[in-house]
């Protein structure tokens, strides 16, 4: 199916013979989002620089083989629970829930076979001025240990000349926990990076963050103030300005891999701004989630050949992942991820790009 604003084709075939679809959403500005049904992933995002030149700003692979062979979460829809659940265990409504551990003793990003490893179904598309695609997946009761059948949908839509919006919905037949996000790795200089993201200027609308232990589980106690720490991004500062400071939290995360605490009011609100000095690209992120996990690509080690065969190395990209706080099922003092029958999970992410020049 082809139109001026939407293209749908086959991206590749999985080893079991199932076809993976690709849907491309295009804006008149040249802004373009490419979504694949494997992992409901954002495979590419073409955004204009200060000179109007469009380039891909999302790390990943050029073909399906890379996504199928390597679990690196590039652009993926992550669930049933994004981030970590401590000791792969929690109690829900008095029920003892045991998950499949895949990050030491913890459950990470839904377990070893989370939503990013699933083939989603393209259920709806629409073109016109705001083209969109909706993908759906049904997670069976007990999948990776999680209770309840979960019916999940994510809609990618171009909602402005250089704006991509993601809307997540889910419903269940039994009480469960849900925490969905997108796990794109951004480099606003380009997905085949000639430079890392340490000089990208980052702003985060958060006064507090969650301190973590060496296994990336939040420590007991309330969120810590960012003031006076390397985690204070309330004013624009290069990502790398303090990333190598002798700070216990930076050591625990091997850089930034922490949740920043946003208002838990379910309003769509400004959460972060990222600006690249050379291309002039600016990304503003809006969300109704209560947290933003910032990950500075600490575990990219040069062993992965991504787009155009480029080896991705530490700090070649940054992830800005809106979500419920990590380990919330075990922390009644954190925002709740509980979803019950008859309720509908609804969360949103908006990526808004602009290009105001290198001085922005």
Catalytic residues, by residue number, are 183, 321
- Tokens for 294? 């910032």
> How far is residue 86's CA from residue 105's CA, in Å, rounded to a whole number?
7
Query: Cα separations (Å) of 91 from 131, 132, 301?
Result: 41, 38, 36
> How far is residue 146's CA from residue 110's CA, in Å, rounded to a whole number?
9
Helix H or strand E segment including 181:
strand 181-183
Q: What are phi and psi of 89, to 5 degrees?
A: -155, 140
- Decide: helix, strand or coil at residue 251: helix
Q: Where are the beta strands (DSSP E) in 82-162?
A: 84-85, 89-92, 95-98, 107-108, 121-126, 132-139, 150-160
Q: Which candidate, 324, 107, 298, places its Cα nearest to that of 185?
A: 298
Read out DSSP for 267-299?
A: --EEEEEEE-TTT-EEEEEEESSSEEEEE--TT
- Tokens for 32? 């373009």
Strand-strand pairing, 54-56 and 76-78:
unpaired
- Decide: helix, strand or coil at residue 174: coil
Q: Quick one: DSSP state of residue 189?
A: T
């Amino acid at each position: 199916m082809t139109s001026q604003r939407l293209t749908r084709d086959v991206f590749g075939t999985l080893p079991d013979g199932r076809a993976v679809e690709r849907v491309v959403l295009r804006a008149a500005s040249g802004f373009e989002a490419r979504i694949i049904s494997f992992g409901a992933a954002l495979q590419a995002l073409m955004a204009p620089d200060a000179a109007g030149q469009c380039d891909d700003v999302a790390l990943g692979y050029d073909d399906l083989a890379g996504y199928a062979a390597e679990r690196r979460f590039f652009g993926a829809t992550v669930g049933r629970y994004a981030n970590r659940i401590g000791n792969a265990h929690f109690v829900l409504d008095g029920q003892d829930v045991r998950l499949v551990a895949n990050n030491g003793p913890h459950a990470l990003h839904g377990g070893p076979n989370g939503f990013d490893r699933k083939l989603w179904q393209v259920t709806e598309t629409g073109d016109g001025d705001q083209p969109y695609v909706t993908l759906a997946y049904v997670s069976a009761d007990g999948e990776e240990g999680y209770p309840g059948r979960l019916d999940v949908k994510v809609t990618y839509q171009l909602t402005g000349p250089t704006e991509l919006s993601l809307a997540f919905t889910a419903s269940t037949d039994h009480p469960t926990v849900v925490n969905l996000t997108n796990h794109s790795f951004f480099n606003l200089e380009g997905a085949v990076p000639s430079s890392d993201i340490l000089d990208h200027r980052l702003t985060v609308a958060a006064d507090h963050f969650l301190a973590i232990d060496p296994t990336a589980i939040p420590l007991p106690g309330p969120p810590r103030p960012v003031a006076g720490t390397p985690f204070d991004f309330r004013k624009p500062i290069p990502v790398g300005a303090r990333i190598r400071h002798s700070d216990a939290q930076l050591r625990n995360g091997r850089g930034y891999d922490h949740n920043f605490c946003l208002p838990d009011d379910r309003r769509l609100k400004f959460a972060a701004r990222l600006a690249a000095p050379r291309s002039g690209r600016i990304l503003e992120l809006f969300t109704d989630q209560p947290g933003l996990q910032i990950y500075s690509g600490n575990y990219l080690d040069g062993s992965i050949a991504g787009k155009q065969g480029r080896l991705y190395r530490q700090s070649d990209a940054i992830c800005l992942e809106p979500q419920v706080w990590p380990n919330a099922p075990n922390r009644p003092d954190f925002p709740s991820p509980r979803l019950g029958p008859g309720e509908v999970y609804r969360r949103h992410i908006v990526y808004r790009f602009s290009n105001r020049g290198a001085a922005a």
